[in-house]
Structure 1
Amino acid sequence: MTSTSHPNLMDQPYSAQRTTLAFTDPAGRRRTTAVTFGPESRRDPVLPQRIRNGMLHDEEQRCVQVRLTAAEAAHPAVRGLLDTEAGTALHLHRALDGTDHAPLFPVVVGHELDTAEPYLLYAAPRGLPAARTHVMSATDQRVLARDLMLALCLLDGQGMVPRGISPATVLWDGTSLQMWGLEAMTRTGRARQPWGRAPFCSPEQRRAGGTVDPRDAVWSAAQVLYQLVTGRPGPSDGPPADLGQHRVLSETLRDAFAPLAADRPTAAELLDLLAPGAARHVALSLPADETGPHGEAFAHALHLKRQAPPTEPSYTAGLGQGEVLCPYCLENIQLDLTSLYVTDNRMQYQPLDPSRYKPGSPRLADIMRGAVQRCTADPDFPEHHIPVPYLTNGRPLTVAMVGQSSTGKSHLLAQMIAEITDGGLEPFGLKWQSVNPGQHARFVRERVQPLRNGKVLDHTPTVGLDGFARFVESLLITDVRGQVRPVAFFDLGGEDLVRTDAALRFLLGVDAMVFVVDPVLALPLPHLDHARERLGVEVNRDGDVAFGTVLDRLPKNGAYLDVAAAMVLGKADLLRFQPPVDRWLGEAPAGRLDPDRLREESRDVYGLLRHHAGQAWLRPFDAIRRCTLHVASATGGQEDHGRYPAGTRPRRVLEPLLSLLAMHGLIDVPGGAEAFAVGTDPALEALPHGPAPGAERPRHGGRPGGSGTGEGRRSE
């Protein structure tokens, strides 16, 4: 960070470095301008970011570019640092823009992150790094200490903790301070990760134990001030021995050098010592949450759902002992040892006679794992085969991915399976095995591995000439009680999901749905305009047409459809700096399902969609009794010529499936599956029984009224 503020760099000739940049400004709008850059230098000897000073010619604005080369950006951890920096800078812009406190932090001009060489643009920094300030009066020391504690108070108010405070990231222009190093920002309460160097990194930060505390940064600030006053670094594990010889330090910072965060004062307490009463006036909040008022409508919708008695799908009533529902023809079927087949080396079905093998032998068990049974329950239905393990492990659970073409549902499913194969179910007490080893190997080879290697997946194939849908992957899930259930996934192309013929017959037997919302189609936010222009699409005010077709085809026995459902705001990387998506996308997996946290996430996603997209996009939630809402990103970035430049970085892709498994009892949750789905909050029970303001009561059969007009549709 030192070189960003060298005064001579801004005066160097730029003629050899003139170029044109297109980027997104903090308001989310695209900006294109000619720019001239000076020579490039390393931002920090350890960090990979590179910096160069420049001039934006459309407004004659001096700037600093922080960028990564393509090779550096190919490393997810390195690219993650730039994402953290961008998210922090934009968050602070929303919180501080137009206030007297804005100059305490870098002023972001724009960003371009979904590219092979991502970068951030800042307004030119103010002052010199404190490391270059050799002489400072006692008055200036007190002002700098006050500003530093003020900056920490502001960050603490936003739940942020800077880990990168050092003499190189604290700039001083003779009258005020500016704090850089935003790539090192983290969140209060997260697990500490190793960062920084002694003595500026606190002892507990170096050990990486426990959770992040705002007082971690108090240690770092105290060490910076000590070096400014004395000209040398302090000890790395406790108070300097000569602290009493320096009046400003001794009066204010003595306890800030405590080895444990719990024994240090807060930044607000230190600010009050430096400027009595100042801490009361620095509490800031982000602009009013525009989606917050829709929380009442969400609570009211849950209240109505709890009043409706749960129903059981009618197709389960006719199943006899040992029978399951064929997922293709929807007729009852059970294991028939005379109708078994295995594939030969030419992938042709050959009859299997199990009587040739010793009962209970390992060889027979292995053969039966890969065997299929020809289903003849409906002689008029096209020929189809069911894996034997699907028939021998209790009632299967079928899951359908729903969304029109290019919504990213196939990428989401592939990353769900990838997370499962990486052990993502183990923290929840679940084990998995493939239903059919050949089918699973093919899915991993053709879908999971190419996506993990950064390749954009081809569009989902449409149904075959025989006109019925087949599941693309199936797993055997074993819960903590040792009970095994087959779980099969249907992923049809968007074109098939808007058909009304027999291709959608499989929906009559589906147990769970994942509705994938494409923010490019749903949300008329300005920073998505560039993606819409690139893809040649427009905002759809009437919701996803595939949602409507599927919901109309599902069987219903009461006021609501009783299939379990999860709505996923997909491609969330496009919204990673947009509240409340930024909060949830940054949440680390918890290793357990917390119904309260999930309901909070559902409320936030509901409010975002209702405010910006309108009620039409919430039709699955309105029509289905048990429905949760989620934020997820299957790829972590946008494609470029059929590839993801930095590879794929999935986030929160397994949470929707975990929610569905909990609703079906495969994961034990507090209060049970029913409470997990619709809630038991006594505060919700106190809501009036009439419609909430701006909300619509579902019509008969659970169908939402209207087409998304009214208050919930406005985006400006």
Structure 2
Amino acid sequence: MSTSHPGRAEPTGARRPYLTFTEPTGRRRTAPVRFGKPSRRDPALPQRVRNGMLDDLGQQCVQVFLSAADAAHPAARALLDTEAGTALQLARTLENTPYAHLFPTVIGYELDTAEPFLLYAAPRGTPAGRTHVMSATDQRVFARDLTLALCLLDGQGLVPRGISPATVLWDGTSVQLWGLEGVARAGRPRTPWGRAPYCSPEQQRGEGLVDARDAVWSAAQVLYQLVTGHPGPADRAPADLAQHRVLDGTLPGAFAPTAGARPSPATLLELLAPGEAGRVALTVTADGARPHQDPYNQALRAKRQAPPAPADEEQAGAGTETGAASETADGLRPGEVLCPYCLEGIQLDLGRLFVPDDQMQYQALDLSRISNPLRREDVMRGAVQQCTADPDFPEHHIPVPYLTHGRPLTVAMIGQSSTGKSHLLTQMIAEITDGGLEPHGVGWQSVNPEQHARFVRERVQPLRGGQVLDHTNALGLSGFARFVESLLLTDARGRVRPVAFFDVAGEDLVRTDGALRFLLGIDALVFVVDPALALPLPQLDEARERVGSQVDRDGDAAFATVLDRLPRKGPYLETPAAMVLGKADLLRFQPPVDRWLGEGPPAALRPDHFLEESGDVHALLRRHAGQAWLRPFDAFRRCTLHIASATGGQENQGRFPAGARPRRVLEPLLSLLAMHGIIEAPGGAASFGVGREAQ
């Protein structure tokens, strides 16, 4: 494994390879390094380890890394990400406390590279499996420290699944717990992990939800082997437990076959060290990453209490469930829909239909020659209609299914060219076509099969293969914004609604001419925040250096232009909106990003969950970026805030080393669909995004 950072030259005259990595503070560091021979960390795991020396400080270290071959597997990278996130969270939480020594000390990490790695200070002690003789007093200290480590993890909602005699080190005075790649969040579905007898019976089977008492079983097994010299049974308490005084007073309940019958880490610690559990609870809070919530709650309260805008001052039907009232507001006749380009009414006209030929040129379609109804319907689905509602507008065509399924819904992606909004939209649509909306009772079909196939071929497949997508093409001097993809969504009641997505280049979003006329008819907006532009955090310095950007305290210029272009007479814009902190993988170890990126897709729509995430993102942006970056939230009555990563990691030489691994990309669209009533949400569409006043 090369220890030189890709793309960085070694200092002139360097005799040893240099290692570049990010420190826990977020600062970048380059240091000369010497490594020994690598070995497997665990035969069942992909990580490898090797001892080393950072020569600038003479600091002994150990590197945990993945070979390029292993790093090509997303599951292997996920393990290293889990270990890094846990180690950094513990380092941040336990800094300046008397408990930090119980866990490995992180020196740095580099994860978005072909051979990702973690760097630790040298381990302290010897694995418990190699400890042969220990006094009764030391056994009690060992048991106390191991249980104390479980309590500290439990206070963060974390459960160590990898506890074994190989991962618990003892230096004669205290314990150090390794194996952090096996940590899972409490309440998540269990998956099989570890080896018997050290993993709990439920963990072996992968049944139920992760519980802190899973780790109590593991700790009890390690303690039993430490005292007796041999492992215990894999599914019950050892028969000779009563023969060992140190174990008999504390561990009988720890070997219960189900987690619910075992003591919690805090209960076990209270038996081993009375009063210690209370001191841990006072020292380490369960969630110290969610301060500054009052301004968000005050803003929601103001939005709930503000009078609604008159029905005719916003675009048609924004936020309504049926859109029926919007037709009158727009002046559309029955059967008409709003053309998303010229914003005039258009309805199906069988005399103006066209289909593309082999050279992608439109040819007139004569339906009179097609008598078979099935064939006729299939041809109609691939046809377009020329819109002539505005003779002064450039020539444009609308897919026929867009005109035949009621009022369409248009969604616009807003942000500068560097925000990654095209990657986000591509992954959002890919998640839909993979069935991501099905748990919420919504199915999909393409509006135009040829357009959809081209979108998959040119955007979805390259991105999933790890290719960085090109920037969105500019409109040019005489162009106008066109939607890049459209789908037919069928809700739980069987209602079909066309949904079209606009992705306009950042340089066009700051134009003030007619190119942005389409915004006047948009039904939903997604504002994408680039963290490198918004947040002056040190871990983002390299991202800024790579693209030659800097922190902008004035907010995204595209946000300001779009907000100024939208018509508003009341206190708020009534169009549903969402803000997304994109490229969140850049901050995946920063609270509260670490928490939300670790959340799986929602099985059911919970408005309170969306409000909680929105409050966290609002607090993060308000604290570090400033109010200018929150202009969309301040402008729209209903605007949820989200954390998402379209790729799961940063590009390296034009590619994503492990492929693009989307995380939480569908949640912003789920919110918008709930606000429009396509997904049914508790409390109704009108309250989604602002909640209801507490009774």
Class of the TM-score when normalised by the shorter of the 2 chains? over 0.9
Mapping of 1:595-614 within 5 angstroms? 595-614=607-626
Pairing 1:518–2:530 present? yes
Q: 2:209 and 2:46 mapped to 1: Cα distance?
A: 26
Contact 1:94 1:286 in 2 (8 A): no
Contact 2:224 2:247 in 1 (8 A): yes
Pairing 1:269–2:286 present? no
Give per-residue Cα distances to partners, 1:510-548, cap 9 Å, x unaligned.
Answer: 000000000000000011111111111100010000001
Give per-residue Cα distances to partners, 1:650-674, cap 9 Å, x unaligned.
Answer: 0000000111011011000001011
Pairing 1:358–2:358 present? no
**Counterpart in the other structure of 2:323:** none
Mapping of 1:39-50 within 5 angstroms? 39-50=37-48
Mapping of 1:455-470 within 5 angstroms? 455-464=467-476, 466-470=478-482
3-state SS, counterpart of residue 340 of structure 2: coil
Mapping of 1:27-66 within 5 angstroms? 27-66=25-64
Q: 2:289 and 2:89 mapped to 1: Cα distance?
A: 15
**Counterpart in the other structure of 1:503:** 515
Mapping of 1:310-349 within 5 angstroms? 310-311=308-309, 312=311, 313=314, 316=326, 317=329, 318-349=331-362
Q: CA RMSD in A?
A: 1.5
Give per-residue Cα distances to partners, 1:455-500, cap 9 Å, x unaligned.
Answer: 0000101115542111000000000111111000000111111111
Tell me the amino acid that sits aligned with residue 363 of structure 2. Answer: Q
Give per-residue Cα distances to partners, 1:427-464, cap 9 Å, x unaligned.
Answer: 00001000000100000100000000000000101115
For residue 242 of structure 1, report the CA deviation from its aligned partner. Answer: 1.2
Q: 1:429 aligns with which of 438, 441, 446?
A: 441
**Counterpart in the other structure of 1:408:** 420
- Give the TM-score normalised by structure 1: 0.91
**Counterpart in the other structure of 1:571:** 583
Residue correspondences, number: 666
Contact 1:333 1:377 in 2 (8 A): yes
Q: 1:219 aligns with which of 217, 220, 229?
A: 217
3-state SS, counterpart of residue 417 of structure 2: coil
For residue 624 of structure 1, report the CA deviation from its aligned partner. Answer: 1.1
Deviates more, 1:232-241 or 1:300-309: 300-309
Deviates more, 1:626-635 or 1:270-279: 270-279
Q: 1:137 aligns with which of 116, 135, 140?
A: 135
**Counterpart in the other structure of 2:279:** 281
Tell me the amino acid that sits aligned with residue 520 of structure 2. Answer: L
For residue 356 of structure 1, report the CA deviation from its aligned partner. Answer: 2.3
3-state SS, counterpart of residue 494 of structure 1: coil
**Counterpart in the other structure of 1:419:** 431
For residue 314 of structure 1, report the CA deviation from its aligned partner. Answer: 5.0
Tell me the amino acid that sits aligned with residue 484 of structure 2. Answer: V
Gaps of 5+ in 1: 1-15, 684-716
Identity %: 73
Relative to structure 1, the CA distance from residue 314 to residue 71 in structure 2 (aligned partners, 3 Å threshold; closer, same or farther) is closer
Q: 2:254 aligns with which of 241, 256, 263?
A: 256
Q: 2:296 aligns with which of 298, 301, 313?
A: 298
**Counterpart in the other structure of 1:639:** 651
Q: 2:678 aligns with which of 663, 666, 673?
A: 666
Q: 2:284 and 2:564 mapped to 1: Cα distance?
A: 43
Q: 2:117 and 2:26 mapped to 1: Cα distance?
A: 16
Tell me the amino acid that sits aligned with residue 451 of structure 2. Answer: Q
Q: 1:342 and 1:550 mapped to 2: Cα distance?
A: 34
For residue 62 of structure 1, report the CA deviation from its aligned partner. Answer: 0.9
Q: 1:25 aligns with which of 13, 18, 23?
A: 23
Contact 2:315 2:523 in 1 (8 A): no
Tell me the amino acid that sits aligned with residue 257 of structure 2. Answer: P
Q: 1:477 aligns with which of 474, 480, 489?
A: 489
Contact 2:156 2:286 in 1 (8 A): no
3-state SS, counterpart of residue 630 of structure 2: helix
3-state SS, counterpart of residue 582 of structure 1: helix
Contact 2:301 2:693 in 1 (8 A): no
Contact 1:94 1:287 in 2 (8 A): no
Q: 1:175 and 1:384 mapped to 2: Cα distance?
A: 77
Q: 1:222 and 1:682 mapped to 2: Cα distance?
A: 45
Q: 1:95 aligns with which of 90, 93, 96?
A: 93
Q: 1:302 and 1:255 mapped to 2: Cα distance?
A: 47
Q: 1:590 and 1:507 mapped to 2: Cα distance?
A: 30
Contact 1:17 1:36 in 2 (8 A): no
Tell me the amino acid that sits aligned with residue 351 of structure 1. Answer: A
Pairing 1:680–2:692 present? yes
Tell me the amino acid that sits aligned with residue 292 of structure 1. Answer: P
Tell me the amino acid that sits aligned with residue 495 of structure 2. Answer: Q
For residue 108 of structure 1, report the CA deviation from its aligned partner. Answer: 0.6
Q: 1:110 and 1:602 mapped to 2: Cα distance?
A: 30
Contact 1:17 1:38 in 2 (8 A): no
For residue 255 of structure 1, report the CA deviation from its aligned partner. Answer: 1.2
Pairing 1:377–2:389 present? yes
Q: 1:626 and 1:81 mapped to 2: Cα distance?
A: 37
Contact 2:156 2:287 in 1 (8 A): no
Gaps of 5+ in 2: 1-13, 317-325
3-state SS, counterpart of residue 487 of structure 1: strand
Give per-residue Cα distances to partners, 1:245-287, cap 9 Å, x unaligned.
Answer: 1111111111111100111112222222222222221223259
Contact 1:17 1:37 in 2 (8 A): no
3-state SS, counterpart of residue 513 of structure 1: strand
Give per-residue Cα distances to partners, 1:207-256, cap 9 Å, x unaligned.
Answer: 11111111000000000111111111110000111111111111111111
- Give the TM-score normalised by structure 2: 0.94
